[in-house]
């Protein structure tokens, strides 16, 4: 496979002038004949596989997300998440000159990758405009799909970027921290592995919730239902919180973790209580930020303790992200006989 072929593919992106075939969010595309298509709320995955030779090609189109970052920042973030997070990249990406089209700033780049015994080339296109970002990823380990990928890129079209407002200022808090009051949820889906470099989701999930009350008290719950474990992990704690500027201190006064058996392998059912887990209570100080996304009409809560915590888990440089429940509806069901 020659890199020059994919540089040609990237140069075609400046055209964006072919007839619309199908549309997902802000991206119009044509599905190559014989390819498989999988849709989800987060994006679309298109794929083709030659079972005899092991050759494959994969295209992923993400749903546009609110973003106030620059085009290069969005490209770098998605390169780390969508490309380096899926396969082993050999070296830094070769980035093409950015172009402007239909209100979008478009940056593309590619690099060789290794996926087990397979070697191929990965290409990422990221478009930024109107305080939004969307990406398209292409991966293949064979020359036989080059013409189909070229035709796919020729048919790609972005709708005109429309401006949405993203408020990234920390929302002011009064003495009792009322702006953080409410239910904040985090729901991660379990991944069993990767096919052609992309995640394969199971029925499992990892859920966490904070409920901050007006009186300065809080409750926290977590539920882990993994297909890789025989048991369900449930934890609950309560205590007090205090807010000063963009700092929040969470102080638990009681709580516990429990292991439960599964029932009929149903993610919504509980079996029997098996015993206590080694869940520990800890007082933690976080830097926090509340963002409003007008595109989704929702708020996000970013909590950054700058360390791993018992409640939130393993911390990365950006901390932990929770989404406000506008209805106050929980995504965590309590086990039988649960009492705060």
Walk along the chain (340 residues) in steps of 10 and give the mean pLDDT of each run.
42 38 89 87 86 91 82 86 84 87 91 83 91 90 88 88 51 43 88 65 89 93 93 96 92 95 93 93 94 70 92 85 84 88
Residues 149 and 50 in one domain: yes
Residues 199 and 83 in one domain: no
Residues 295 and 154 in one domain: no
Residues 205 and 310 in one domain: yes
For position 149, which CATH number holds?
A: 3.40.1000.10
pLDDT of residue 12: 40
pLDDT of residue 283: 96
pLDDT of residue 294: 60
Residues 212 and 107 in one domain: no
- Number of domains, the chain: 2
* CB 93 within 8 Å of CB 6: no
Q: State the residue range of the domain holding 274.
A: 178-324
Q: Of 109, 128, 163, which residue is a domain's last?
A: 163
* CB 139 within 8 Å of CB 128: no
Q: With respect to residue 340, please indicate whether it lies within any of the assigned structural domains.
A: no
Q: With respect to residue 281, please indicate whether it lies within any of the assigned structural domains.
A: yes
d(CA 28, CA 155) in angstroms, rounded, equals 8
pLDDT of residue 19: 35
Q: With respect to residue 86, please indicate whether it lies within any of the assigned structural domains.
A: yes
pTM for the whole thing?
A: 0.52
Q: With respect to residue 136, please indicate whether it lies within any of the assigned structural domains.
A: yes
pLDDT of residue 43: 84
Distances, alpha carbon 51 to alpha carbons 48, 87, 150, 198, 239, in Å: 10, 20, 22, 18, 56
Q: Of 163, 191, 218, which residue is a domain's last?
A: 163
Q: With respect to residue 331, please indicate whether it lies within any of the assigned structural domains.
A: no
Residues 81 and 205 in one domain: no
Residues 39 and 121 in one domain: yes
């Amino acid at each position: 496979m020659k890199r020059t072929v994919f540089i040609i593919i990237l140069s075609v992106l400046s055209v964006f002038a072919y007839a619309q075939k199908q549309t997902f969010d802000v991206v119009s595309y044509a599905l190559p004949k014989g390819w498989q298509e999988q849709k989800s709320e987060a994006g679309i995955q298109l794929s083709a596989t030659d079972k005899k030779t092991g050759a494959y090609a994969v295209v992923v189109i993400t749903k546009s997300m609110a973003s106030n970052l620059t085009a290069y920042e969005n490209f770098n973030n998605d390169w780390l998440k969508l490309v380096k997070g899926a396969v082993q990249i050999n070296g830094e990406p070769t980035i093409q000159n950015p172009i402007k089209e239909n209100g979008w700033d478009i940056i593309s780049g590619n690099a060789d990758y290794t996926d087990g015994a397979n070697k191929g080339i990965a290409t990422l296109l990221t478009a930024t405009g109107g305080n939004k970002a969307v990406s398209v990823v292409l991966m293949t380990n064979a020359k036989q799909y080059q013409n189909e990928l070229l035709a796919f890129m020729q048919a790609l079209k972005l709708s005109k970027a429309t401006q949405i407002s993203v408020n990234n200022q920390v929302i002011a808090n009064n003495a009792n921290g009322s702006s953080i009051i409410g239910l904040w949820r985090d729901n991660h889906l379990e991944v069993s592995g990767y096919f052609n470099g992309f995640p394969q989701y199971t029925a499992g999930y990892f859920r966490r919730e904070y409920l901050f009350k007006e009186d300065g008290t809080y409750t926290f719950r977590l539920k882990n239902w993994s297909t890789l474990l025989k048991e369900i992990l449930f934890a609950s704690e309560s205590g007090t919180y205090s807010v000063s500027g963009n700092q929040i201190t969470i102080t638990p006064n009681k709580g516990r973790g429990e292991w439960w058996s599964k029932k009929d392998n149903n993610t919504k059912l509980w079996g029997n209580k098996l015993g206590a887990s080694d869940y520990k209570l800890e007082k933690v100080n976080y830097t926090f930020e509340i963002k409003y996304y007008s595109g989704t009409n929702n708020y996000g809560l970013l909590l950054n303790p700058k360390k791993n915590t018992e409640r939130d888990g393993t911390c990365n440089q950006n901390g932990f992200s929770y989404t406000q429940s506008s209805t106050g509806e929980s995504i965590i069901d309590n086990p039988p006989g649960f009492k705060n």
